Protein backbone atom coordinates (compact mmCIF):
# COMPACT_ATOMS: atom_id res chain seq x y z
CA UNK A 1 0.00 0.00 0.00
CA UNK A 2 1.03 3.61 -0.51
CA UNK A 3 0.04 6.61 1.57
CA UNK A 4 0.06 9.91 -0.32
CA UNK A 5 0.59 12.58 2.29
CA UNK A 6 2.30 15.85 3.22
CA UNK A 7 3.99 16.19 6.64
CA UNK A 8 2.52 19.41 8.09
CA UNK A 9 -1.12 18.94 7.10
CA UNK A 10 -3.38 17.66 9.92
CA UNK A 11 -5.31 14.90 8.12
CA UNK A 12 -2.24 13.14 6.68
CA UNK A 13 -0.43 13.65 10.00
CA UNK A 14 -3.24 11.86 11.82
CA UNK A 15 -2.77 8.81 9.56
CA UNK A 16 1.04 9.01 9.82
CA UNK A 17 0.82 9.10 13.63
CA UNK A 18 -1.57 6.15 13.47
CA UNK A 19 0.87 4.09 11.38
CA UNK A 20 3.74 5.03 13.75
CA UNK A 21 1.72 4.11 16.87
CA UNK A 22 0.82 0.72 15.37
CA UNK A 23 4.49 0.18 14.46
CA UNK A 24 5.31 0.79 18.16
CA UNK A 25 2.93 -2.10 18.87
CA UNK A 26 4.93 -4.20 16.39
CA UNK A 27 2.16 -4.04 13.77
CA UNK A 28 3.98 -3.50 10.49
CA UNK A 29 1.56 -2.56 7.75
CA UNK A 30 4.11 -2.13 4.93
CA UNK A 31 2.82 1.24 3.78
CA UNK A 32 5.14 3.32 1.63
CA UNK A 33 4.69 7.04 2.36
CA UNK A 34 4.91 9.39 -0.60
CA UNK A 35 4.90 13.20 -0.27
CA UNK A 36 2.51 15.19 -2.46
CA UNK A 37 3.97 18.70 -2.47
CA UNK A 38 0.86 20.77 -1.75
CA UNK A 39 2.89 24.01 -1.57
CA UNK A 40 3.75 23.45 -5.24
CA UNK A 41 0.09 22.56 -5.94
CA UNK A 42 0.84 18.93 -6.83
CA UNK A 43 -2.41 17.82 -5.14
CA UNK A 44 -4.38 19.65 -7.86
CA UNK A 45 -2.48 18.06 -10.75
CA UNK A 46 -3.96 15.22 -12.85
CA UNK A 47 -1.63 12.60 -11.31
CA UNK A 48 -3.06 13.18 -7.82
CA UNK A 49 -6.62 13.90 -9.01
CA UNK A 50 -6.58 10.42 -10.56
CA UNK A 51 -6.04 9.08 -7.03
CA UNK A 52 -8.43 11.48 -5.35
CA UNK A 53 -10.81 13.62 -7.43
CA UNK A 54 -11.23 15.99 -4.46
CA UNK A 55 -7.53 16.92 -4.60
CA UNK A 56 -6.86 16.36 -0.91
CA UNK A 57 -4.37 14.36 1.14
CA UNK A 58 -4.16 11.78 2.55
CA UNK A 59 -5.00 9.12 -0.02
CA UNK A 60 -4.26 5.45 0.61
CA UNK A 61 -3.55 3.37 -2.45
CA UNK A 62 -4.59 -0.23 -1.93
CA UNK A 63 -2.89 -3.26 -3.45
CA UNK A 64 -5.51 -3.41 -6.23
CA UNK A 65 -4.70 0.19 -7.24
CA UNK A 66 -7.91 1.72 -5.84
CA UNK A 67 -7.86 4.50 -3.22
CA UNK A 68 -9.39 5.52 0.09
CA UNK A 69 -9.45 9.31 0.43
CA UNK A 70 -10.89 10.04 3.91
CA UNK A 71 -8.46 9.89 6.83
CA UNK A 72 -10.92 8.27 9.23
CA UNK A 73 -11.93 5.62 6.68
CA UNK A 74 -8.24 4.90 6.03
CA UNK A 75 -7.58 4.41 9.75
CA UNK A 76 -10.68 2.27 10.28
CA UNK A 77 -9.70 0.11 7.30
CA UNK A 78 -6.24 -0.42 8.81
CA UNK A 79 -7.81 -1.17 12.22
CA UNK A 80 -9.99 -3.86 10.62
CA UNK A 81 -7.30 -5.27 8.35
CA UNK A 82 -4.67 -5.49 11.13
CA UNK A 83 -6.78 -6.30 14.21
CA UNK A 84 -3.93 -7.05 16.67
CA UNK A 85 -3.54 -4.29 19.28
CA UNK A 86 -5.93 -1.84 17.64
CA UNK A 87 -6.04 1.76 18.85
CA UNK A 88 -9.82 1.92 19.04
CA UNK A 89 -10.02 -1.17 21.27
CA UNK A 90 -12.36 -4.13 21.01
CA UNK A 91 -15.14 -3.51 23.55
CA UNK A 92 -18.17 -1.84 21.87
CA UNK A 93 -18.51 0.91 24.50
CA UNK A 94 -14.76 1.55 24.54
CA UNK A 95 -14.83 1.92 20.73
CA UNK A 96 -17.88 4.19 20.88
CA UNK A 97 -16.28 6.47 23.49
CA UNK A 98 -13.11 6.67 21.44
CA UNK A 99 -15.04 7.58 18.29
CA UNK A 100 -17.15 10.06 20.25
CA UNK A 101 -14.08 12.01 21.41
CA UNK A 102 -12.37 11.67 18.01
CA UNK A 103 -15.46 13.06 16.25
CA UNK A 104 -15.72 15.95 18.74
CA UNK A 105 -12.08 16.83 18.03
CA UNK A 106 -12.31 16.41 14.27
CA UNK A 107 -15.63 18.23 13.82
CA UNK A 108 -15.47 20.86 16.56
CA UNK A 109 -11.76 21.55 17.13
CA UNK A 110 -9.67 20.61 14.08
CA UNK A 111 -11.55 22.74 11.52
CA UNK A 112 -11.63 25.96 13.60
CA UNK A 113 -8.00 25.41 14.70
CA UNK A 114 -6.87 25.17 11.09
CA UNK A 115 -8.88 28.24 10.11
CA UNK A 116 -7.52 30.10 13.14
CA UNK A 117 -3.93 29.26 12.13
CA UNK A 118 -4.52 30.53 8.60
CA UNK A 119 -6.26 33.67 9.88
CA UNK A 120 -3.32 34.45 12.20
CA UNK A 121 -0.25 33.47 10.17
CA UNK A 122 -1.11 31.50 7.04
CA UNK A 123 1.73 29.37 5.65
CA UNK A 124 -0.09 29.62 2.30
CA UNK A 125 0.29 33.39 2.37
CA UNK A 126 -3.38 34.19 3.05
CA UNK A 127 -3.82 37.70 4.51
CA UNK A 128 -4.32 37.95 8.30
CA UNK A 129 -8.01 38.06 9.27
CA UNK A 130 -8.43 39.11 12.93
CA UNK A 131 -12.24 38.88 12.80
CA UNK A 132 -12.15 35.28 11.58
CA UNK A 133 -9.43 34.42 14.11
CA UNK A 134 -11.64 35.74 16.94
CA UNK A 135 -14.65 33.76 15.66
CA UNK A 136 -12.61 30.53 15.38
CA UNK A 137 -11.14 31.07 18.86
CA UNK A 138 -14.66 31.44 20.27
CA UNK A 139 -15.79 28.23 18.53
CA UNK A 140 -13.17 26.01 20.14
CA UNK A 141 -13.73 27.12 23.74
CA UNK A 142 -16.51 24.64 24.63
CA UNK A 143 -14.86 21.59 23.00
CA UNK A 144 -11.49 22.46 24.59
CA UNK A 145 -13.21 22.78 27.98
CA UNK A 146 -14.73 19.36 27.37
CA UNK A 147 -11.31 17.82 26.64
CA UNK A 148 -9.76 19.57 29.66
CA UNK A 149 -12.57 18.06 31.73
CA UNK A 150 -11.78 14.55 30.50
CA UNK A 151 -8.15 14.90 31.60
CA UNK A 152 -8.98 16.37 35.01
CA UNK A 153 -9.31 12.87 36.55
CA UNK A 154 -5.56 12.38 36.05
CA UNK A 155 -5.65 10.09 33.03
CA UNK A 156 -2.46 10.39 30.97
CA UNK A 157 -4.15 10.30 27.55
CA UNK A 158 -7.53 11.46 26.29
CA UNK A 159 -9.29 8.10 26.66
CA UNK A 160 -7.28 6.76 29.59
CA UNK A 161 -4.04 4.82 29.84
CA UNK A 162 -3.83 3.71 26.21
CA UNK A 163 -3.16 5.93 23.23
CA UNK A 164 -6.21 6.43 21.10
CA UNK A 165 -7.25 7.90 17.77
CA UNK A 166 -8.50 10.98 19.64
CA UNK A 167 -4.96 11.78 20.83
CA UNK A 168 -3.66 11.57 17.29
CA UNK A 169 -6.40 13.74 15.81
CA UNK A 170 -5.84 16.53 18.31
CA UNK A 171 -2.07 16.33 18.08
CA UNK A 172 -2.17 16.51 14.26
CA UNK A 173 -4.00 19.87 14.48
CA UNK A 174 -1.71 21.17 17.22
CA UNK A 175 1.35 20.59 15.07
CA UNK A 176 -0.11 22.99 12.51
CA UNK A 177 -0.77 25.60 15.22
CA UNK A 178 2.79 25.25 16.50
CA UNK A 179 4.09 25.74 12.97
CA UNK A 180 2.19 29.03 12.61
CA UNK A 181 3.22 30.00 16.18
CA UNK A 182 -0.36 30.13 17.42
CA UNK A 183 -1.84 28.74 20.62
CA UNK A 184 -5.47 28.19 21.55
CA UNK A 185 -5.18 26.21 24.79
CA UNK A 186 -5.41 29.26 27.06
CA UNK A 187 -5.48 28.44 30.76
CA UNK A 188 -5.96 24.67 30.46
CA UNK A 189 -3.14 23.00 32.40
CA UNK A 190 -4.35 19.43 31.84
CA UNK A 191 -4.39 19.83 28.05
CA UNK A 192 -0.95 21.46 28.16
CA UNK A 193 0.43 18.56 30.24
CA UNK A 194 -1.21 16.05 27.89
CA UNK A 195 0.41 17.81 24.92
CA UNK A 196 3.89 17.62 26.48
CA UNK A 197 3.33 13.98 27.43
CA UNK A 198 2.06 12.92 24.02
CA UNK A 199 4.99 14.54 22.25
CA UNK A 200 7.41 12.40 24.29
CA UNK A 201 6.02 9.25 22.69
CA UNK A 202 8.32 7.53 20.16
CA UNK A 203 5.60 7.70 17.48
CA UNK A 204 5.25 11.45 18.00
CA UNK A 205 9.02 11.92 17.83
CA UNK A 206 9.12 9.90 14.61
CA UNK A 207 6.34 11.83 12.87
CA UNK A 208 5.96 15.35 14.27
CA UNK A 209 8.43 17.89 12.91
CA UNK A 210 7.09 20.94 14.72
Ligand X SMILES: N[C@@H](CCC(=O)N[C@@H](CS)C(=O)NCC(=O)O)C(=O)O
Nearer to ligand X by Cβ, of 164 and 175: the residue is: 175
Nearer to ligand X by Cβ, of 58 and 89: the residue is: 58
Nearer to ligand X by Cβ, of 71 and 86: the residue is: 71
Q: Who's near 29: CB < 8 A, 6+ residues apart? A: 1, 19, 22, 23, 78, 81, 82
Distance CA 81, CA 31 (A): 13
Nearest-Å Rg of the Cα atoms of the chain is 17
Whole-number minimum distance, CB 72 to ligand X, in Å?
A: 6
CA atoms within 13 A on the CB side of 179: 21
Whole-number minimum distance, CB 37 to ligand X, in Å?
A: 12
Whole-number minimum distance, CB 91 to ligand X, in Å?
A: 25
Whole-number minimum distance, CB 185 to ligand X, in Å?
A: 20
Q: Who's near 105: CB < 8 A, 6+ residues apart? A: 143, 147, 166, 169, 170, 173
Question: Can you give the binding site for ligand X, defined by CB under 6 A?
Answer: 9-11, 38, 43, 55-58, 70-72
Nearer to ligand X by Cβ, of 106 and 148: the residue is: 106
Nearer to ligand X by Cβ, of 37 and 149: the residue is: 37
Helix (H) or strand (E) holding 209: none
Q: Who's near 73: CB < 8 A, 6+ residues apart? A: none
Whole-number minimum distance, CB 161 to ligand X, in Å?
A: 27
Amino acid sequence: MKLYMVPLAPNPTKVMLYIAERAELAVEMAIEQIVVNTVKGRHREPEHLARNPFGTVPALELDDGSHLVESLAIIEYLEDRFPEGTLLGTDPLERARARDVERIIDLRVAGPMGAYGHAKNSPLGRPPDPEKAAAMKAQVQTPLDYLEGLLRDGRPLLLGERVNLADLTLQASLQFLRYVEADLFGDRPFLRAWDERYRERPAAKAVLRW
